[in-house]
Structure 1
Amino acid sequence: MDFSLVRVDNRLVHGQIIETWLPFFKATRIVVVNDEVAGSFFRETVIRMAVPREVEVVIYGVEEFGRSQIARRRDEMRTIVLFSGVNDIVRAFEAGFRFHSLNIGNLYSDRCRLQCSPSVCLDDEDIADIRFLLDAGVAVELRSVPSDRPLDFRSLLAGGTGNGF
Protein backbone atom coordinates (compact mmCIF):
# COMPACT_ATOMS: atom_id res chain seq x y z
CA MET A 1 0.00 0.00 0.00
CA ASP A 2 1.23 3.49 -0.85
CA PHE A 3 1.10 6.38 1.60
CA SER A 4 -2.36 7.87 2.04
CA LEU A 5 -1.05 11.42 1.80
CA VAL A 6 2.36 13.01 1.27
CA ARG A 7 1.96 16.71 2.04
CA VAL A 8 3.98 19.90 2.23
CA ASP A 9 2.58 22.11 4.97
CA ASN A 10 4.80 24.60 6.74
CA ARG A 11 2.59 24.27 9.84
CA LEU A 12 3.08 20.48 9.92
CA VAL A 13 0.46 19.15 12.40
CA HIS A 14 -2.50 21.52 12.91
CA GLY A 15 -6.28 21.63 12.70
CA GLN A 16 -6.59 20.90 8.96
CA ILE A 17 -4.54 17.74 9.39
CA ILE A 18 -6.27 16.54 12.56
CA GLU A 19 -9.84 17.53 11.69
CA THR A 20 -9.98 16.87 7.93
CA TRP A 21 -7.13 14.78 6.49
CA LEU A 22 -6.92 12.19 9.30
CA PRO A 23 -10.62 11.29 9.11
CA PHE A 24 -10.68 11.53 5.30
CA PHE A 25 -8.04 8.81 4.97
CA LYS A 26 -8.85 7.08 8.28
CA ALA A 27 -5.11 7.42 8.89
CA THR A 28 -3.52 5.51 11.75
CA ARG A 29 -0.01 6.98 11.45
CA ILE A 30 1.47 10.45 10.95
CA VAL A 31 5.10 10.77 9.96
CA VAL A 32 6.60 14.24 10.47
CA VAL A 33 9.78 14.78 8.46
CA ASN A 34 11.61 17.87 9.67
CA ASP A 35 15.16 18.40 10.90
CA GLU A 36 14.19 21.05 13.47
CA VAL A 37 11.38 18.99 15.00
CA ALA A 38 13.54 15.85 15.06
CA GLY A 39 16.16 17.81 16.99
CA SER A 40 13.80 19.42 19.50
CA PHE A 41 12.30 17.48 22.39
CA PHE A 42 9.88 20.34 23.04
CA ARG A 43 8.55 20.59 19.45
CA GLU A 44 8.31 16.81 19.18
CA THR A 45 6.33 16.67 22.44
CA VAL A 46 3.92 19.39 21.29
CA ILE A 47 3.24 17.53 18.04
CA ARG A 48 2.67 14.25 19.85
CA MET A 49 0.23 15.98 22.23
CA ALA A 50 -1.76 17.44 19.31
CA VAL A 51 -2.40 14.08 17.65
CA PRO A 52 -5.17 11.74 18.86
CA ARG A 53 -3.89 8.92 21.06
CA GLU A 54 -4.92 6.18 18.63
CA VAL A 55 -2.72 7.63 15.85
CA GLU A 56 0.95 6.64 15.84
CA VAL A 57 3.38 9.56 15.47
CA VAL A 58 6.84 9.03 14.00
CA ILE A 59 9.34 11.89 13.65
CA TYR A 60 12.43 11.88 11.45
CA GLY A 61 15.08 14.24 10.16
CA VAL A 62 14.95 14.59 6.37
CA GLU A 63 17.87 12.43 5.23
CA GLU A 64 17.22 9.94 8.03
CA PHE A 65 13.67 9.50 6.73
CA GLY A 66 14.82 9.02 3.13
CA ARG A 67 17.02 6.14 4.26
CA SER A 68 14.52 4.68 6.74
CA GLN A 69 12.56 1.47 6.42
CA ILE A 70 9.28 3.33 6.83
CA ALA A 71 10.04 5.39 3.69
CA ARG A 72 10.75 2.23 1.73
CA ARG A 73 8.21 -0.28 3.01
CA ARG A 74 4.56 -0.32 2.23
CA ASP A 75 2.37 -1.75 4.95
CA GLU A 76 -1.33 -1.72 5.69
CA MET A 77 -1.19 1.30 8.01
CA ARG A 78 -2.82 4.37 6.52
CA THR A 79 -0.02 6.90 6.75
CA ILE A 80 0.16 10.66 6.29
CA VAL A 81 3.68 12.00 5.70
CA LEU A 82 4.22 15.71 6.43
CA PHE A 83 7.08 17.95 5.30
CA SER A 84 7.38 21.67 6.08
CA GLY A 85 8.91 22.66 2.73
CA VAL A 86 9.32 21.50 -0.85
CA ASN A 87 13.12 21.41 -0.55
CA ASP A 88 12.86 18.93 2.34
CA ILE A 89 10.80 16.54 0.24
CA VAL A 90 13.31 16.83 -2.63
CA ARG A 91 16.12 16.02 -0.16
CA ALA A 92 14.18 12.97 1.08
CA PHE A 93 13.54 11.93 -2.54
CA GLU A 94 17.26 12.19 -3.29
CA ALA A 95 17.94 10.05 -0.19
CA GLY A 96 15.62 7.30 -1.46
CA PHE A 97 12.02 8.20 -0.53
CA ARG A 98 9.65 7.37 -3.39
CA PHE A 99 6.02 8.39 -3.69
CA HIS A 100 3.49 8.90 -6.48
CA SER A 101 1.74 12.10 -5.54
CA LEU A 102 2.35 15.22 -3.46
CA ASN A 103 -0.19 17.55 -1.90
CA ILE A 104 0.84 21.14 -1.21
CA GLY A 105 -1.49 22.58 1.39
CA ASN A 106 0.14 25.50 3.17
CA LEU A 107 3.42 27.06 2.15
CA TYR A 108 4.62 30.60 2.63
CA SER A 109 7.84 32.28 1.62
CA ASP A 110 9.09 35.77 2.50
CA ARG A 111 10.54 35.78 -1.03
CA CYS A 112 7.18 34.99 -2.62
CA ARG A 113 7.26 35.10 -6.39
CA LEU A 114 4.01 33.31 -7.07
CA GLN A 115 0.83 33.44 -4.99
CA CYS A 116 -1.02 30.23 -5.97
CA SER A 117 -3.77 30.49 -3.37
CA PRO A 118 -4.37 32.33 -0.10
CA SER A 119 -2.33 29.64 1.68
CA VAL A 120 0.38 28.86 -0.90
CA CYS A 121 3.06 31.34 -1.91
CA LEU A 122 6.10 29.99 -3.78
CA ASP A 123 9.59 31.37 -4.21
CA ASP A 124 11.94 30.53 -7.10
CA GLU A 125 13.48 27.58 -5.22
CA ASP A 126 10.04 26.10 -4.50
CA ILE A 127 9.08 26.37 -8.17
CA ALA A 128 12.35 24.71 -9.27
CA ASP A 129 11.84 21.92 -6.70
CA ILE A 130 8.27 21.33 -7.87
CA ARG A 131 9.50 21.13 -11.48
CA PHE A 132 12.10 18.56 -10.35
CA LEU A 133 9.39 16.41 -8.76
CA LEU A 134 7.10 16.72 -11.78
CA ASP A 135 9.97 15.70 -14.07
CA ALA A 136 10.56 12.69 -11.79
CA GLY A 137 6.98 11.57 -12.40
CA VAL A 138 5.38 12.81 -9.17
CA ALA A 139 1.86 14.23 -9.51
CA VAL A 140 1.75 17.52 -7.58
CA GLU A 141 -1.52 19.12 -6.49
CA LEU A 142 -2.52 22.20 -4.54
CA ARG A 143 -5.31 21.54 -2.02
CA SER A 144 -5.75 22.71 1.57
CA VAL A 145 -8.47 20.30 2.67
CA PRO A 146 -10.07 17.21 1.11
CA SER A 147 -13.25 19.09 0.16
CA ASP A 148 -11.31 21.62 -1.97
CA ARG A 149 -11.01 21.06 -5.70
CA PRO A 150 -7.41 19.96 -6.35
CA LEU A 151 -5.32 22.13 -8.68
CA ASP A 152 -2.75 20.20 -10.70
CA PHE A 153 0.66 21.91 -10.72
CA ARG A 154 1.57 20.54 -14.14
CA SER A 155 -1.38 22.38 -15.68
CA LEU A 156 -0.57 25.46 -13.59
CA LEU A 157 3.00 25.42 -14.91
CA ALA A 158 1.64 25.12 -18.45
CA GLY A 159 -0.46 28.22 -17.87
CA GLY A 160 -3.72 26.31 -17.78
CA THR A 161 -5.55 28.26 -15.07
CA GLY A 162 -4.28 31.80 -15.14
CA ASN A 163 -2.93 31.54 -11.58
CA GLY A 164 0.38 33.02 -12.67
CA PHE A 165 2.30 29.94 -13.74
Structure 2
Amino acid sequence: MGKINLARVDDRMIHGQVMTKWTKGFGTNSVYVVDNATAADDFMKDIYVSTNSTGGLKIKVYSSTEVADEWKKNQFGDDKVVVVFKYIKEVKEALDAGLEIDALNVGGVSKKPNTDFVIPTVAVGADEKALLKEIHDSGIEVYFQTVPDSKRVEYDSVIK
Protein backbone atom coordinates (compact mmCIF):
# COMPACT_ATOMS: atom_id res chain seq x y z
CA MET A 1 0.00 0.00 0.00
CA GLY A 2 1.23 3.49 -0.84
CA LYS A 3 1.65 6.34 1.56
CA ILE A 4 1.23 10.09 1.45
CA ASN A 5 4.42 11.43 3.02
CA LEU A 6 3.36 15.05 2.60
CA ALA A 7 0.33 16.90 1.29
CA ARG A 8 1.34 20.47 0.46
CA VAL A 9 -0.19 23.56 -1.11
CA ASP A 10 2.37 25.38 -3.22
CA ASP A 11 1.27 27.39 -6.23
CA ARG A 12 4.72 27.01 -7.78
CA MET A 13 4.08 23.25 -7.82
CA ILE A 14 7.41 21.56 -8.60
CA HIS A 15 10.44 23.70 -7.82
CA GLY A 16 13.73 23.43 -5.98
CA GLN A 17 12.32 23.46 -2.43
CA VAL A 18 9.85 20.69 -3.15
CA MET A 19 12.27 18.55 -5.08
CA THR A 20 15.32 18.97 -2.84
CA LYS A 21 13.98 19.52 0.65
CA TRP A 22 10.48 18.12 1.05
CA THR A 23 11.08 14.86 -0.81
CA LYS A 24 14.21 13.88 1.14
CA GLY A 25 13.75 11.17 3.71
CA PHE A 26 10.56 9.22 4.31
CA GLY A 27 11.33 6.99 1.31
CA THR A 28 9.53 9.32 -1.11
CA ASN A 29 9.59 7.97 -4.65
CA SER A 30 6.86 10.05 -6.33
CA VAL A 31 5.55 13.59 -6.60
CA TYR A 32 1.91 13.97 -7.57
CA VAL A 33 1.03 17.41 -8.90
CA VAL A 34 -2.64 18.27 -8.41
CA ASP A 35 -3.87 21.11 -10.58
CA ASN A 36 -7.07 20.94 -12.59
CA ALA A 37 -5.80 23.23 -15.36
CA THR A 38 -2.50 21.41 -15.82
CA ALA A 39 -4.22 18.02 -15.77
CA ALA A 40 -6.53 19.18 -18.56
CA ASP A 41 -3.66 20.47 -20.71
CA ASP A 42 -1.93 17.51 -22.38
CA PHE A 43 1.08 19.60 -23.41
CA MET A 44 1.73 20.95 -19.89
CA LYS A 45 1.00 17.57 -18.34
CA ASP A 46 3.58 15.95 -20.63
CA ILE A 47 6.16 18.55 -19.64
CA TYR A 48 5.75 17.75 -15.96
CA VAL A 49 5.69 13.99 -16.44
CA SER A 50 8.70 14.04 -18.77
CA THR A 51 10.79 15.90 -16.19
CA ASN A 52 10.98 12.88 -13.92
CA SER A 53 13.64 13.77 -11.42
CA THR A 54 17.19 12.69 -11.94
CA GLY A 55 16.93 11.64 -8.31
CA GLY A 56 14.56 8.87 -9.33
CA LEU A 57 11.26 10.50 -8.39
CA LYS A 58 8.24 9.70 -10.55
CA ILE A 59 6.07 12.69 -11.38
CA LYS A 60 2.37 12.33 -12.12
CA VAL A 61 -0.22 15.03 -12.79
CA TYR A 62 -3.84 14.73 -11.68
CA SER A 63 -6.95 16.83 -11.34
CA SER A 64 -8.41 17.04 -7.85
CA THR A 65 -10.95 14.30 -8.58
CA GLU A 66 -8.45 12.10 -10.44
CA VAL A 67 -6.06 12.05 -7.47
CA ALA A 68 -8.94 11.02 -5.20
CA ASP A 69 -9.96 8.26 -7.63
CA GLU A 70 -6.37 7.02 -7.75
CA TRP A 71 -6.28 6.95 -3.93
CA LYS A 72 -9.57 5.07 -3.68
CA LYS A 73 -8.39 2.56 -6.29
CA ASN A 74 -5.32 1.29 -4.40
CA GLN A 75 -3.98 3.98 -2.03
CA PHE A 76 -1.35 4.90 -4.66
CA GLY A 77 -0.02 1.36 -5.01
CA ASP A 78 3.61 1.19 -3.90
CA ASP A 79 4.25 4.92 -4.23
CA LYS A 80 5.48 6.97 -1.28
CA VAL A 81 4.13 10.34 -2.35
CA VAL A 82 4.49 14.05 -1.89
CA VAL A 83 1.19 15.48 -3.16
CA VAL A 84 1.54 19.10 -4.26
CA PHE A 85 -1.67 21.05 -4.79
CA LYS A 86 -1.60 24.32 -6.69
CA TYR A 87 -4.63 25.72 -4.88
CA ILE A 88 -6.33 25.27 -1.51
CA LYS A 89 -9.67 24.86 -3.31
CA GLU A 90 -8.27 21.79 -5.09
CA VAL A 91 -7.33 20.25 -1.74
CA LYS A 92 -10.94 20.61 -0.61
CA GLU A 93 -12.23 19.18 -3.91
CA ALA A 94 -9.91 16.16 -3.58
CA LEU A 95 -10.97 15.57 0.02
CA ASP A 96 -14.64 15.83 -0.93
CA ALA A 97 -13.97 13.28 -3.71
CA GLY A 98 -12.42 10.78 -1.28
CA LEU A 99 -8.71 11.54 -0.85
CA GLU A 100 -7.60 10.90 2.72
CA ILE A 101 -4.84 12.94 4.37
CA ASP A 102 -3.86 13.41 8.00
CA ALA A 103 -2.11 16.76 7.62
CA LEU A 104 -1.84 19.64 5.16
CA ASN A 105 1.26 21.79 4.79
CA VAL A 106 0.58 25.20 3.28
CA GLY A 107 3.91 26.53 2.15
CA GLY A 108 3.67 28.67 -0.96
CA VAL A 109 0.67 30.80 -1.90
CA SER A 110 1.56 34.02 -3.71
CA LYS A 111 0.11 37.40 -2.85
CA LYS A 112 -2.97 38.41 -4.81
CA PRO A 113 -5.50 41.21 -4.32
CA ASN A 114 -7.53 40.88 -1.11
CA THR A 115 -5.09 38.45 0.52
CA ASP A 116 -2.89 38.82 3.57
CA PHE A 117 0.31 37.03 4.51
CA VAL A 118 -0.03 34.51 7.33
CA ILE A 119 3.64 33.59 6.99
CA PRO A 120 6.09 35.30 4.60
CA THR A 121 5.42 32.79 1.78
CA VAL A 122 1.66 32.29 2.18
CA ALA A 123 -1.00 34.90 1.45
CA VAL A 124 -4.64 33.90 1.82
CA GLY A 125 -7.94 35.68 1.44
CA ALA A 126 -11.34 35.09 2.98
CA ASP A 127 -12.23 32.24 0.61
CA GLU A 128 -9.00 30.34 1.32
CA LYS A 129 -9.37 30.93 5.05
CA ALA A 130 -12.89 29.47 4.94
CA LEU A 131 -11.65 26.40 3.06
CA LEU A 132 -8.74 25.93 5.49
CA LYS A 133 -11.19 26.18 8.39
CA GLU A 134 -13.36 23.45 6.85
CA ILE A 135 -10.30 21.26 6.30
CA HIS A 136 -9.00 21.91 9.83
CA ASP A 137 -12.42 21.38 11.42
CA SER A 138 -12.73 18.01 9.64
CA GLY A 139 -9.84 16.74 11.78
CA ILE A 140 -6.95 17.32 9.37
CA GLU A 141 -3.93 19.01 10.86
CA VAL A 142 -3.23 22.25 8.96
CA TYR A 143 0.08 24.06 9.34
CA PHE A 144 2.18 26.62 7.50
CA GLN A 145 5.84 25.99 6.75
CA THR A 146 8.03 27.02 3.84
CA VAL A 147 10.77 24.40 4.12
CA PRO A 148 11.43 21.62 6.63
CA ASP A 149 14.05 23.63 8.53
CA SER A 150 11.92 26.79 8.81
CA LYS A 151 9.53 27.49 11.66
CA ARG A 152 6.33 25.47 11.57
CA VAL A 153 3.30 27.66 12.31
CA GLU A 154 0.12 25.94 13.47
CA TYR A 155 -3.27 26.80 11.99
CA ASP A 156 -4.74 28.08 15.29
CA SER A 157 -1.96 30.61 15.75
CA VAL A 158 -2.60 32.46 12.46
CA ILE A 159 -6.18 31.79 11.33
CA LYS A 160 -8.76 33.23 13.67
Task: Tell me if TM exceeds 0.5.
Answer: yes
| C-alpha distance in 2 between matches for 1:75 and 1:43 | 25
Q: C-alpha displacement at 1:70, in angstroms?
A: 6.0
The answer for unaligned runs of 5 or more in structure 1 is 158-164
Q: Secondary structure at the match of 1:3?
A: strand
Q: Return the offset for 1:129.
A: 0.4
State the partner residue of 1:122. 124
> 1:144 and 1:151 mapped to 2: Cα distance?
10
Superposition pairs for residues 147-158 of structure 1, below 5 Å?
147-157=149-159
Distance 2:72 2:149 in 1: 28
Q: Secondary structure at the match of 1:11?
A: coil
Per-residue CA deviation, residues 76-114 of structure 1 (Å, 9 max, x unaligned), is 532100100111000111111111000001002423332
Question: TM-score if structure 1 supplies the norm length?
Answer: 0.85
CA distance in 1, matches of 2:74, 2:128: 25
CA displacement at 1:26 relative to structure 2: 3.7
Return the offset for 1:154.
2.1
What is aligned with 1:40?
41
Query: Structure 1: which amino acid aligns with 2:95?
Result: F
State yes or no: 1:62 paired with 2:59.
Answer: no
Q: Aligned partner of 2:83: which letter?
A: V
Q: Please say if residues 65 and 71 of structure 1, whose CA atoms lie closer than 8 Å, have aligned partners that are also in contact.
A: no
Normalising by structure 2, we get a TM-score of 0.88
Residue 134 of structure 1 corresponds to which residue in structure 2?
136
Deviation at 1:40, TM superposition (A): 1.6
- Aligned-residue Cα RMSD (Å) equals 2.0
Identity %: 21
Residues 105 and 51 of structure 1: CA distance in aligned 2, closer, same or farther (over 3 Å): farther
Structure 2, unpaired ranges of 5+: none
CA drift at 1:71: 7.3
